[in-house]
Structure 1
Amino acid sequence: MASEAVLKYLVDTNRPYSCADVTVNLRGAYTKNAVQKALDALSESGKIKCKLYGKQKVYAALQLENVEESSDTEDYDTQISNITNILNDKTSDLKKAEANLKNLVSAPTNDMTKSQIEEVKNSIDKLEKKLTDLRNTTEVISAGEKKILLEEHEKSLKEYRKRKRISSDMLDAVLEGYPKSKRSFLEEFCIETDEMVNFSLKTQ
């Protein structure tokens, strides 16, 4: 009968199983309905223990001949809680490892870093040579060229002042509704003024 086979299986394995597990593990000797009826009957008669986890019923043999009545079955709730905690810890460790791996993969390799350093050195050498040439030059520009340069400089200076005034007006308008100080606003939005970086535009 299904009841005898189911009871023997649960006693021999001494592990909790659902109806579907028992049906599969009995290799189709009985239908799922027959196994379910057997499990319900054994549970009602007190020969096995039934626990409900969510919507699923789990059955386990009492094994009365091997253990005392007060501890006839393991505390599966505690086991599940412990396993859940372990799983959460492992999941957290996995996320940290994945983030670390992402950082390592995105970081430049040694060869790339060496190449970038070499490019910067070459750029510095070219700029230093250009600066030396400019310092040592004796070439004098004509009055006409000087006038053009001064006019362009004055034009750029006016544009700079105009844009700075517009920026200052916009900043003042925003600060009217901002609850903190001007300094806090600049720091929060990573804005640097000319005064903060000691920038001074030469007018001559």
Structure 2
Amino acid sequence: MSKKDGGECTEKVRRYMEQQNRPYSVNDVFMNLHKEVGKTAVQKALDQLTAEGSVREKTYGKQKVYVFSQDQFPPLDESQLQEMDRKAAELSATLKEKEKQLCETETQLRQLIKATQIEEEVSRLQQKLSDLTENRVLVSKEERDKVVKESDAMTRQWRKRRRMAMDILDAILEGYPHPKAQLYEEIGIETDQDAGVTLPKV
């Protein structure tokens, strides 16, 4: 390798260490540069940069780790540090709020899924009642009353859950930047119309 090539390799390693500004081993630098510089050349470049003071070397057991010298960066004044702390606090608060919203949305989604299951059960009972009526199958009054009672109870649950689901969806839509149809599609909501069912009267 010529001196010119060696100088180019050293400059490439120096720029990389400055841009990343985090600790790396020789192998890390070699791999992260996509093997554009040979491993031996990377080691020589880091040794030279360490000797110049551009890079700091730390030894952990048998492994050496290199990091760009922080003395190479202009010092931050107190106002800059305070601004960075303020931004970090804002980002932390935003993250917590997003996590809270995610938790609430997951809870709402579970409620919507439950409502869908109730709708399916009501549809099944309605279909059973319709089959019994149309085919005039002779059933006891007790059995018929039981089916009607179950159907009415499930219908009331359907109505209650449907109202809850719509309230939740309306609340989500207040802060949702897209049309209602897109929200329904994203979270997998199927309306009564989509399912081809009509909420029966109790």
Q: What interval of TM-score do these two structures reach, taking the shorter chain for normalisation? A: 0.3 to 0.5
Task: Please report the TM-score for the alignment, with normalisation by the length of structure 1.
Answer: 0.33
Indicate the structure whose relative CO is greater, using CA pairs within 8 Å and at least 6 residues apart.
Answer: 2
User: For the pair shown, which has the larger CA radius of gyration, 1 or 2?
Assistant: 1
Query: Greater helix percent: which structure?
Result: 2
